[in-house]
Structure 1
């Protein structure tokens, strides 16, 4: 091998960059990687038929293939790790490349020039690279950031998958504890662990997770991902966990965030002098894990197990300093992974973990004089998480044909309750001036459990110039759910004024002498709700020329949502999601590429829609005469119990008899799915073997929404007025087909189709006369961005990654959840309840952060000491002034109109409104978050010690991150006095100590 070829091959191995003439495209599955390359002779001729062998240096996994006629070769579905590559061919000297790293979701390219005159052997090369998306893979059109656990250990990064995702360009913190990818809402992302989808399908905001130490590598996909991935219009967090190897290892890690290393929170003061209390808020968090791994049978069967004890205790005081809450979450974690290399051509992977968590929170009155808790008032219980498991088989059936099978699932509890809710029924005195008089004020209590069954099969078939990938993906998502009123009888008691002889709703007649009655209401929704999501995909990665790769993909989606009795009530199928990508190796050296991508992505309907709308509904009402109150003591407080008189009339089930009703009048028969179109144009290049840069332009447009609308007109006039339908789940601004009364006899008997862009909402004049209809505006969301990145690979001394994102997110609808008004019931927001909520509502959306600057890096002070740092500078989100009501009728939902005159007029036409445009009240301030860490590492015989102290929010920034955006809370002349008051601020500075010992 000549020196020039050796240098180039060494760089290819080290950086995983080089592809040459007609190499197979560098694609990999969700939980592994691939290895590709090309063999040429000294004169540049292709070396066909050579035997290429790869061996995993940790597990001994060995695979061999033969080079194609053009000298190319490919190893798909390789477990991530470090490999040795060996090449043998009669007439040529053997070639060898060491320390070749196969990373998650990517391909490593190793090209070799074989010599007939001398051994073509590469010396051992330490794989370097930042793991950033700027590593140039000239066959890929995907936008992704790869980060290994070793790279993250050099940085001050909070210990969660979401914190890792926030390192990628275009990803920001969103509402409800989630993250936003490219302007999307927090309910549009998908998370995979070891190829298993662990996303919460009930609301699509949370996900199952494992301790940070259990992870091995992350890939954050921010756009352009292939047809293998779907059911997301946001982004993908893809992660794999640790595995066993031929070396026995064990160790322990302690992570501690003590109160003593937290900066005391400072109280905030609003313009009127009112205080937002922070000085009493504090917490203690620790986790202590132990792990063990190694071979059960060397080179064949390996295990990795971890157990982690953890505890979290926090104290918070309400802003008015009336209540103190003290919580604790003591649940532990267990996880295990088993890898069986049945043979060189067959692998089996089993893994399972439990993230089950139970939180207990005690409520106390707060004594401001002493700064301590007062009397106990309640204890609250929250159960979440559960078991996760999967089995994955990989079969290398020939040199060119491979498959992967996965079967798995996960469980998540959704239980929230309190002692008061168990012991106490809610009692509401609805007579003039009355209110809650019992020992609980809770509404409906909900208990649920979500269970996913996931199955997928992925095939890969390599042909000359083409790589075909195809497969199917099926998920059965089941929610067992019941909601009910608090109390031992599950009844809500309400007291109303009446008079003797009056007829109640159940037909009962009020007896003589009775002036008030009690209505006991049992309202329950229950059922087992299933959603089946299926997808088939086909993709051709076509090497048109040695430097031009075309990616052609098609994904066929289907969503089937079922009611509480198992019958389909929302079904959307035959949804085609095309993907088209193009990558041009501009100089033919694998160091620079121009790429483009266009794709369509569909979002499924979350299970909360099934549960809230399609369950067995029981609404049972019982009436009694009211004979007064009797006081009782509970938790040191005095409350009232009802003294019941005789029952009045029969028990009434007419509002709901415990069965699933006819949903044809509540759901659009021909509903279309939510989908997003995305277009990306980018360029990436390497300056040298350490420095690289890139630029990416992005355009995303969301189409459709699925939400509930109140249709007050069915288009059928009866005595000059239309019939009312009620709330319907459908596509706002599109045709809605529902079952309704078409012949004015009061019974639903046929379907009507309503163009909700023009009709569906009945209009009346001040005298109540019907005067016409109006419709809804279509939902709009457009995201445009320009991303710049600069990357310096880790070389044992220092590394750096910097990115800047300029973005614009505009429209009238954030997505399936609503940050503006705090609605987290995915797909059941207030956006489209009436036509006026989103009327004239276009503007900058809640996840519009115009400027994002991110910087991360590490520096080795010596062999033992290392520094790490991160910086995130984020421009503020827009502030809107939300009103109530509209200039057209008397409804009072949120809107972008403010009543300014005659607001208490009885006739809506006399009220005067002004438009309050979205984002017209400025923006939140820039926030700056700096993290810093210092690490010490040293070996003591067989023990490796690592101690890290990380500090977050180093400069103790306290900028406001959310404000009250309700300019008016009721139709009236008065503005909300707390408008633009802060509701959330940056977390004060805190530190984390990590001590890790490995043997």
Structure 2
């Protein structure tokens, strides 16, 4: 039946706030960015002579201390200059005036998503100490002594109303003991809290500003890695792969969308002219963890969860190498991370001790090419593919293992990710950035060996897994793929003040494949009066499309005492059913982003911010799968076979006395109870040969495994 198109308003949040900001160090608390993209930073400044007059027409040269590339601009009539779309790293700024004035600053650090703003005072051709610290990182590209000329004062980025943190990860871990996880970095930002650990897709997600953990967006080198099936969690990279990590908790400009809570943007490490190798190894022994107390089903002391014999251990080794393939032009960075994780725990009420182990390594690679100064190509690839094997060992009422594993669960998650990016500065006032990326995520959870049905019982007074049951999971073999196209441009104009226009478009094509069913075809449950059966099957491929346009103007007025950030974003969302029919369409979700900053004393050290914004969320593809798919769920109730009664059962197993089973381990059933007949003959209770057809054939399962 053809479904009509559903038009609906997506979830939105409108926020307004007022705040204040001041300059900070390697953890940059608000302001996080002024019109900067996901992966770049900028340097802006003003240069004057010792008499305080602007050095109009001064030549300003920028050179990377790590990769050697350079750019040159000319200071304007007011002495102002800017370098846009810069990769993270350390830079040297040299300024030469027409009368011989000179500034040399070898210690300018650029962090992604942040504008570094300075006021320089040039000296008349003499060398002298700068008022400001020159760090050893400044000479990362060449080494030797540091000679600094002129005076420098770092000032607030007046054009930013964004709140959050910009973190230089490498410098942070040298000074602050933090968990080496994504959530460990996010929780450094004010207004963030740990989320519920019970979500399967993300056990350590974070809530931003009171929003749910399913309302955030996550980016790595400009690629959206958010889990678009459920919106919970994202594709991860190892901690050692991070160079900078930007946490945006509010006030984001129009280029950011598809989130209501917060946005994170990570930039991975790159190579430099220096060849470097190293290793970082972490070990977390089980004896270093405290265990939760045992839990009980009732006041009689019947165990529910036995935790006193839990085991949790992991070892991760990170081996990296980086350097120049062609000095000043082509660089590489590679990371290989062998991992060992083991976790054992016991569910007495579930009837099993679970022993899980994973040894899948992580690997990542980044190439940076600078064919000519001002133009840059970047390629990033990483794999967070991971396979976890879990054995199910039966236990008694005390949680003691009573036999060998009844089956092994294979859980494969993650996948390969690819990013290609171009950034080009064509003039002092125009920069263009293009990005293409792919984010893959596998969702395979299958059982090895013969698929035995799941057996449950309520005859012991609580729901338990009966002996002889198959592994109690719903096997699935799904995968998600996101394909991203993005273009952004920056234009600087002087007209009734200074304008920085940023505008762009991005397109995300989302694909999900689903194939889920019950182990051994059905779940059987013994109750006092009948045997209940449940059947579930969901297969198919689904698509969604998301497109956005935006424009933002950062407008400086009144001799830079006031900045207005005026932005507008338009989001469009489309979701398609299993037949390829568009059943959700949300057009023209207009989202204004309006901010203002005022320099209170005119010294650029103290400012007041105000911001109003509206945000929208798309519909996750899990809705396509459940609402627009071919999902089948059916429950039937059967009488016990002749001579069998639910009132007479084994007090240890919860299985009725005399209950028979077929060769596949399924219980023999009596007649179907009134009102429980299945209208579909292909799903009704059938002989074992018919039931096996509901399982995915092994050859098809193999093809699905290989297709990714």
What per-residue deviation string (whole Å, max 9, x for no partner) do you get for residues 203-222 of structure 1?
Answer: 11121111111111111111
The equivalent residue for 2:327 is 298
- Secondary structure in 1 matching 2:407: strand
Question: Does the C-alpha gap of structure 1 residues 113 and 330 become closer, same or farther in structure 2, counting only changes over 3 Å?
Answer: same
1:54 pairs, out of 55, 62, 73, with 62
The equivalent residue for 2:545 is 532
1: CA distance, partners of 2:350 / 2:641: 38
The equivalent residue for 1:308 is 337
The equivalent residue for 1:587 is 601
The equivalent residue for 1:605 is 619
The equivalent residue for 1:167 is 188
Mind listing any 5+ residue stretches in structure 1 that lack a counterpart? 1-10, 18-24, 497-515, 658-999
Question: Does the C-alpha gap of structure 1 residues 38 and 428 become closer, same or farther in structure 2, counting only changes over 3 Å?
Answer: closer
Matches within 5 A, 1:249-268: 249-263=276-290, 265-267=292-294
Q: Does residue 470 of structure 2 align to residue 440 of structure 1?
A: yes
The equivalent residue for 1:151 is 172
Q: Does the aligned pair in 2 maintain the 1:429–1:436 contact within 8 Å?
A: yes
2:82 pairs, out of 51, 74, 79, with 74
What per-residue deviation string (whole Å, max 9, x for no partner) do you get for residues 492-519 of structure 1?
Answer: 78999xxxxxxxxxxxxxxxxxxx9x99
Matches within 5 A, 1:591-990: 591-617=605-631, 630-631=660-661, 640-642=666-668, 653=680
2: CA distance, partners of 1:370 / 1:455: 53
The equivalent residue for 1:194 is 221
Q: 1:379: Cα distance to partner?
A: 2.3
Q: 1:109: Cα distance to partner?
A: 1.4
Q: Does the aligned pair in 1 maintain the 2:118–2:155 contact within 8 Å?
A: no
Q: Does residue 100 of structure 2 align to residue 92 of structure 1?
A: yes
Q: 1:642: Cα distance to partner?
A: 3.6
Q: 1:374: Cα distance to partner?
A: 4.3
- Secondary structure in 2 matching 1:111: strand
Q: Does the aligned pair in 2 maintain the 1:621–1:653 contact within 8 Å?
A: no
1: CA distance, partners of 2:502 / 2:342: 49
What per-residue deviation string (whole Å, max 9, x for no partner) do you get for residues 739-760 of structure 1?
Answer: xxxxxxxxxxxxxxxxxxxxxx
Q: Does the aligned pair in 2 maintain the 1:189–1:236 contact within 8 Å?
A: yes
The equivalent residue for 1:209 is 236
> Would you say how many aligned residue pairs link Structure 1 and Structure 2?
607
- Secondary structure in 2 matching 1:486: strand
The equivalent residue for 1:336 is 365
2: CA distance, partners of 1:287 / 1:495: 45
Q: Does residue 509 of structure 2 align to residue 476 of structure 1?
A: yes
The equivalent residue for 2:53 is 45
Q: 1:152: Cα distance to partner?
A: 2.7
The equivalent residue for 1:461 is 491
Q: Does residue 122 of structure 2 align to residue 102 of structure 1?
A: no
The equivalent residue for 1:777 is none
Q: 1:126: Cα distance to partner?
A: 2.9
Q: 1:619: Cα distance to partner?
A: 7.7
Mind listing any 5+ residue stretches in structure 2 that lack a counterpart? 1-21, 138-153, 643-658, 672-676, 685-708
- Secondary structure in 2 matching 1:377: coil
2: CA distance, partners of 1:44 / 1:653: 87
Q: Does the aligned pair in 2 maintain the 1:100–1:127 contact within 8 Å?
A: no
RCO comparison, higher one (Cα < 8 Å, 6+)? 2
2: CA distance, partners of 1:193 / 1:12: 25
1: CA distance, partners of 2:214 / 2:25: 38
2:555 pairs, out of 542, 545, 557, with 542
The equivalent residue for 1:239 is 266
The equivalent residue for 2:646 is none
1:137 pairs, out of 134, 157, 165, with 157
Q: Does the aligned pair in 1 maintain the 2:366–2:379 contact within 8 Å?
A: yes
2: CA distance, partners of 1:287 / 1:625: 54
- Secondary structure in 2 matching 1:485: strand
The equivalent residue for 2:452 is 424
The equivalent residue for 1:229 is 256
The equivalent residue for 1:386 is 415
- Secondary structure in 1 matching 2:376: strand
- Secondary structure in 1 matching 2:405: strand
Question: Does the C-alpha gap of structure 1 residues 618 and 153 become closer, same or farther in structure 2, counting only changes over 3 Å?
Answer: same
1: CA distance, partners of 2:669 / 2:295: 46
- Secondary structure in 1 matching 2:623: helix
2: CA distance, partners of 1:144 / 1:277: 41
Q: Does the aligned pair in 1 maintain the 2:23–2:605 contact within 8 Å?
A: no
Question: Does the C-alpha gap of structure 1 residues 169 and 14 become closer, same or farther in structure 2, counting only changes over 3 Å?
Answer: closer
Matches within 5 A, 1:109-128: 109-116=117-124, 118=126, 122=130, 125-126=133-134
Question: Does the C-alpha gap of structure 1 residues 225 and 521 become closer, same or farther in structure 2, counting only changes over 3 Å?
Answer: closer
Q: Does the aligned pair in 2 maintain the 1:550–1:583 contact within 8 Å?
A: yes
What per-residue deviation string (whole Å, max 9, x for no partner) do you get for residues 150-184 of structure 1?
Answer: 21343222221111101111111111222111110
1: CA distance, partners of 2:59 / 2:361: 49
Question: Does the C-alpha gap of structure 1 residues 184 and 294 become closer, same or farther in structure 2, counting only changes over 3 Å?
Answer: same
Question: Does the C-alpha gap of structure 1 residues 91 and 337 become closer, same or farther in structure 2, counting only changes over 3 Å?
Answer: same
Question: Does the C-alpha gap of structure 1 residues 148 and 436 become closer, same or farther in structure 2, counting only changes over 3 Å?
Answer: closer
The equivalent residue for 1:512 is none
2: CA distance, partners of 1:45 / 1:54: 22
What per-residue deviation string (whole Å, max 9, x for no partner) do you get for residues 933-982 of structure 1?
Answer: xxxxxxxxxxxxxxxxxxxxxxxxxxxxxxxxxxxxxxxxxxxxxxxxxx
2: CA distance, partners of 1:264 / 1:620: 40
Indicate the larger mover: 258-267 or 74-83.
258-267
1: CA distance, partners of 2:323 / 2:369: 12
Q: 1:455: Cα distance to partner?
A: 1.2
2: CA distance, partners of 1:408 / 1:603: 21
2: CA distance, partners of 1:214 / 1:373: 44
Question: Does the C-alpha gap of structure 1 residues 71 and 361 become closer, same or farther in structure 2, counting only changes over 3 Å?
Answer: same
1: CA distance, partners of 2:669 / 2:122: 96
- Secondary structure in 1 matching 2:395: strand
2: CA distance, partners of 1:449 / 1:484: 15
2: CA distance, partners of 1:621 / 1:182: 42
Q: Does residue 183 of structure 2 align to residue 183 of structure 1?
A: no
What per-residue deviation string (whole Å, max 9, x for no partner) do you get for residues 608-628 of structure 1?
Answer: 101111113568999999987
Q: Does the aligned pair in 2 maintain the 1:27–1:34 contact within 8 Å?
A: no
Question: Does the C-alpha gap of structure 1 residues 85 and 26 become closer, same or farther in structure 2, counting only changes over 3 Å?
Answer: farther
Q: 1:242: Cα distance to partner?
A: 0.8
Q: 1:591: Cα distance to partner?
A: 1.4
